[in-house]
Structure 1
Amino acid sequence: MGEFEYGTDGPKLILAAVDGSTTSLHAGAYAVGLARRQHSELVVITVTTTPALSGLSADAVTVLAESAQSLASDLHEQAKEYLRLLKMEARLMTVHGDPYIEIVRAADDLRADAVVVGASMKAGHRLVGSLAGRLIKAGKWPVTVVP
């Protein structure tokens, strides 16, 4: 677990998860501002997923995986342009898999001091527990949920 050093007043490394949803883009922008103010290292992660639908052909799965990868590339191009305009640097990562598992893995591997995610806009998540809620329950790092 990342620890704050005496004499510093903020996180050294912030992990922001961005998936293209409006709230995740707000989270990314918030994380950039936070990293800038706190002089923190910023890592932006995009987790691509392929829905596990048994009725899909191998070709359909390939198309879905390619479109997920294409979305991640587009997001990273937008992020690079945004960061360039702000004269900020960040590490951009794309991983494939379950968003919760991959964000936890990245936060642990990077020894993140803070995780920033967007609030889920899916209605069912209020009942079942969103990605943000699961990350908070993990209790490993401060989690900021941006609307």
Structure 2
Amino acid sequence: MKQRVFVVGIDGSESSRRAAAYAVGLARRESARLIGIYVRPLPSGIVSLADASGAAASSVVASQDQVVTEFRDTLQRERTRLGVDMEIVVRQGDPFTELCQAARELWADAVIVGRSEGLLHRIAGSVAQRLVRCGHWPVTVVP
């Protein structure tokens, strides 16, 4: 029998941390493989034009690296303690597109994401809402 695969979207927000914690517990109970997907947003052209020295871009990359490092450290600690097969994949691009592509490539049985905390996402549609509407996988949205 094929091992189940769960994909969890992480972005460093509090809701994505809760989603990751939920996903770890679910993967442990289901003896499933857990893949954390971190999507680095494409650099904004406006930031590049306004920041000739590159300091702002370096700051953004450093904060993104911190999110990945934090999640990797947690994986190292919890993998042994909980006995869950976990890994992290870093991609670059649009979070919705990259999460869908990763879930397709990994033959995911479910996708777990945190609820959007931004007001704009509540109006225009969040990644979680778009994943639910996509309808390809069961999606759990963790508040």
**TM-score, length of structure 2 as denominator length:** 0.85
* Secondary structure of the structure 2 residue equivalent to 1:86: helix
Gaps (5+ residues) in structure 2? none
Cα deviation per residue 1:66-112 (whole Å; 9 max; x = unaligned)?
A: 43123212222123223333232212211122111111110011111
Corresponding letter in the other structure for 1:57: A
Aligned to 2:130: 134
Structure 2 residue 23 is the aligned partner of structure 1 residue 27? no
Equivalent position of 2:68 in the other structure:
72
Superposed counterparts of 1:1-147, under 5 Å:
12-54=4-46, 55-57=50-52, 59=54, 60-147=56-143
Unaligned runs of 5+ in 1: none
1:20-50 superposed Cα distances (whole Å, 9 cap, x missing partner): 1111111111111111111212111111224
The 10-residue stretch of structure 1 (32-41 or 130-139) with the greater mean CA deviation from structure 2: 32-41
SS of 1:121 mapped into structure 2: coil
Q: Structure 2: which amino acid aligns with 1:28?
A: A
Distance 1:69 1:46 in 2: 10
Report the Cα offset of residue 53 of structure 1: 4.3
- Alpha carbon RMSD of aligned pairs, Å? 2.1
Instruction: Check the 8 A contact 2:42/2:94 in 1, yes or no.
Output: no
Identical pairs, percent: 36
CA contact (8 A) 2:27 2:34 kept: yes
Greater helix share, structure number: 2
TM-score (norm 1): 0.83
Given that residues 37 and 89 in structure 2 are in contact (C-alpha distance below 8 angstroms), is that contact kept between their aligned partners in structure 1? yes
Cα distance, 1:124–1:18 mapped onto 2, change above 3 Å: same
